[in-house]
Structure 1
């Protein structure tokens, strides 16, 4: 995903044209700076993920389903390679969400601008995913499946259940497409179906990732909320007439130079 974000970043900056019929306003410097900052935070988050430690035999043996929240406990031990493979269909479809907007003439005329908004949406979603998945240690449902090989249950990658990245991406892409369609065609009778489709994609992804043993229900719920919020708010904050609202990535460093204290996104409103 990191390489994809960088590719989309370069593409968006090289194709940032839009026509007067666009409901949005973008700025090459501001949006470029935002994307660069968000990608930087994604890279930081990926380093956290890559440095996750595997569980020991003692830690695996100490796992108890009864310690899991009741709303999630039923998914403990889930595992399905087929569901995992199927989940990549809506995942990649979400990454190509802007392409579904090309049939519309107005969207085609503003495809460069839409691409910029999409990169910001995915980069924002990535920040929330990589930082939480990198800093929060939570075993996936499959870790509780005693029929799986020890190595598969103990590996560091199996300890990043929260939040659900695939669900966040699917939700971000589908709700982004719905939001763009809504803003370009506010009087269209298809709007309820478009929003319904976006919700359906998110639910389907959550189901597949839970069945695959990759995430618990709450992981998927939070992932879907993060993705939907990014897909809706990024275009909304760029709508004409809302230039006094700014969203930007931020990180603070402590005075002792021992590391990063806070990382994330900041929202400001100019009166």
Structure 2
């Protein structure tokens, strides 16, 4: 079988393998990563990213995608140059999601059940029905997220930088304590029960809509199919690029109305701002990928996340 000898350089241009990297001519990107890991054991496959040399006028080259062949898909030849980037220590997506969601599920109830620990010198009255309903909704939301992590979501990448574990946990755990502190405070004044119940019932509908969106997204890429990007269709996807974010945000808006606290509103706004960035990036990617040229589908006109504003 014919072989392929590649030159691998760091982003600064330093040769990482002076003798080159030898592969079969039909090798895939996964074969490249596996062979590089054999030669450089420190860089296990999840830490690796290879890119082509940048084209004229570009600052960086195209990243090699798993599942593609080096010669047939990227036109590499004997002596071709690839650039390597160390992505740093990695951790599984599911592991990160578990810990970032498990935290709020544990932190919030502590303020509800053990007020004497957090509200020094203030006698805690009996919990109001609104506070109990808020705890029930919060717990349902994060139990749902945990179950989706293990039984619904299909991640396009297996790992992420390990720093994200600490960053994400700080965000979710910190906001859980922030929101719970004010909603469960002994001096908390609950809004009318009927209003809170109606708002939380609407929030539950948003959660089921969010779940339906996640199921649709998971079914776009069956396990082991190797399928790439597909235009999501059906349900709210016919109108919105990221309706899962839409339903998530509307659910937290309802939670903020139900609890009538600035802390919940701040949590909602910060989360919505982050989801807006993700949604905008996905919308741009889908428009670029499905441009209607050379037989490709054309991405339909849709709102990004929050019609009629965005």
- TM-score of the superposition, structure 2-length normalised? 0.32
| CA radius of gyration, larger in | 2
The alignment's TM-score, normalised by the length of structure 1, stands at 0.35
